[in-house]
Amino acid sequence: MDALVGRGDDVWVLDSLANGRRENVAEGARLVELDIRDADALAGAFAEAKPETCFHLAAQADVRVSIAEPAFDAEVNVIGTANVLEAAREQETKVVFSSTGGAIYGECDGPADEDSPRLPLAPYGTSKLAGEEYLGTWSRLYGAGHVALRYGNVYGPRQDPHGEAGVVAIFFGRIANGGELHIFGDGRQTRDYVFVADVVAATLAAASGPEGVYNVGTGIETSVLELAEECKRASGVEAEIVFDPPRLGELSRSVLDPSRAEEALGWRPATSLAAGLEATWNFVRTAEGEGETGAN
Ligand SMILES: NC(=O)c1ccc[n+]([C@@H]2O[C@H](COP(=O)([O-])OP(=O)(O)OC[C@H]3O[C@@H](n4cnc5c(N)ncnc54)[C@H](O)[C@@H]3O)[C@@H](O)[C@H]2O)c1
């Protein structure tokens, strides 16, 4: 959104604020508060905005919620996505859908490419995969040219350090507050951490790229234990690591091969983990410092 406003686009943000925050809407962007499950409201907003491109990020994005409430997860991620596609069809809008690599491929035995088996371990992965399939169907049926991007583990400034997900922000939040870093299991489970600015660049590239499904990751695996050490290094703060029991259903390896995105979209990640962590730490340190007198 910031990148779009920055380059002078007319930007509309459609969000229920279920999880999003009004203060994160960039100055110059217009916020329409609506639920993507409400097809009429969505169609009305699209009819007014007549967007060239729709970056479809609205989602129920919490794996644990998807396990506890699979029907709700499907309502938002499947029905909601079908509603977005219909509203977009009426305005001939191209959709760039934010999907997920980790939750769709499941356990990886090396960098997963887009043709790797898709074995979601949680309803969230299944509902995002269904969303992708809907995009593919709309592209075949109407020649819509939609794109789905399978993100790795996105991290960076503005991620909530007090949430349940987003391990980088959580680690930095604990570090900023003098806490311990909790790791589930032995910490050897790996993830593909991709910096938010790189994800923005891929998402913008997809708007003018060929239809299809593309991984947006680095191809580099980092264990949670390595990540904890890197977070300590980036912050220059010593923090104790505590090992908690492993969580049921947690993947041991998750890593994405970004080659197809490089070939088709001309995109590749540009930010090293060290540089991305430094930028994220600077943000969390400032935000947590400002929050010290607040309600936290
Ligand atoms: N963060 C990651 O590492 C990651 C990885 C892979 C994919 N993704 C995808 O990227 C997108 C953004 O993820 P995020 O981590 O910023 O999640 P998030 O929960 O912070 O953002 C989701 C947004 O959707 C909005 N929303 C939720 N339900 C809605 C509804 N019914 N109608 C309208 N708006 C609704 C929320 O208010 C929020 O602003 C999601 O589609 C997610 O599946 C994220």
- Answer yes or no: do 142 and 79 share one domain: yes
159 in contact with ligand 1, CB cutoff 6 A: no
Which domain CATH number covers 36? 3.40.50.720
Note the residue count of the chain: 296
47 in contact with ligand 1, CB cutoff 6 A: no
Residue 203 placed within a domain = no
Name the 3-class secondary structure at 164. coil
Best substitution site from 32, 57, 100 to test ligand 1's pocket, by max atoms within 8 Å of Cβ? Answer: 57
In the chain, how many domains are there? 2
CA 24/CA 162 separation, integer angstroms: 16
Residue 209 placed within a domain = no
Final residue in a domain of this structure, among 121, 151, 181: 151
Closest CA to 209 of 158, 264, 159, 255: 264
CA 271/CA 130 separation, integer angstroms: 31
Residue 233 placed within a domain = yes
- Answer yes or no: do 71 and 140 share one domain: yes
55 in contact with ligand 1, CB cutoff 6 A: no
Closest CA to 138 of 150, 126, 146: 146
Range(s) of the domain holding residue 24: 1-151
Residue 33 placed within a domain = yes
CA 253/CA 251 separation, integer angstroms: 6
24 in contact with ligand 1, CB cutoff 6 A: no
- Answer yes or no: do 5 and 28 share one domain: yes
Q: Alpha helices of the chain — where are they, by DSSP H?
A: 2-6, 39-49, 63-68, 70-74, 80-90, 102-105, 123-142, 167-176, 196-207, 224-235, 259-265, 273-291
- Answer yes or no: do 163 and 48 share one domain: no
Final residue in a domain of this structure, among 131, 151, 171: 151
- Answer yes or no: do 128 and 88 share one domain: yes
- List CB contacts of 266: < 8 A, sequence separation 6 or more: 205
- Answer yes or no: do 107 and 32 share one domain: yes
Residue 138 placed within a domain = yes
Task: For residue 24, give the DSSP letter.
Answer: G
Which domain CATH number covers 224? 3.90.25.10
Span from the CA of 252 to the centroid of ligand 1 (angstroms): 24
**Structure tokens that stand for 24 in this block:** 């994160």
CA 82/CA 104 separation, integer angstroms: 19
Beta bridge partners of 223: 190
Spell out a b/e string for 209-227, using b for 16 or more CB atoms within 10 Å of the CB, else e.
Answer: bebbbbbbbbbbbbbbbeb
Span from the CA of 245 to the centroid of ligand 1 (angstroms): 28
CA 60/CA 260 separation, integer angstroms: 27
Residue 214 placed within a domain = no
CA 31/CA 79 separation, integer angstroms: 22
235 in contact with ligand 1, CB cutoff 6 A: no
- Answer yes or no: do 64 and 116 share one domain: yes
| 81 φ/ψ angles, rounded to the nearest 5 degrees | -70, -40
- Answer yes or no: do 180 and 270 share one domain: yes
**pLDDT tens figures, 122-170:** 999 999 999 999 999 999 999 999 999 999 999 999 998 887 779 999 9
Span from the CA of 144 to the centroid of ligand 1 (angstroms): 23
- Answer yes or no: do 125 and 188 share one domain: no
- Answer yes or no: do 160 and 253 share one domain: yes
Per-residue pLDDT of the chain (296 residues; tens, 9 = 90+): 889 999 999 999 999 999 999 999 999 999 999 999 999 999 999 999 999 999 999 999 999 999 999 999 999 999 999 999 999 999 999 999 999 999 999 999 999 999 999 999 999 999 999 999 999 999 999 999 999 999 999 999 999 888 777 999 999 999 999 999 999 999 999 999 999 999 999 999 999 999 999 999 999 999 999 999 999 999 999 999 999 999 877 899 999 999 999 999 999 999 999 999 999 999 999 988 765 433 33
Span from the CA of 60 to the centroid of ligand 1 (angstroms): 6
- Answer yes or no: do 43 and 96 share one domain: yes
pLDDT of 291 reads: 55
pTM, to two decimals: 0.96
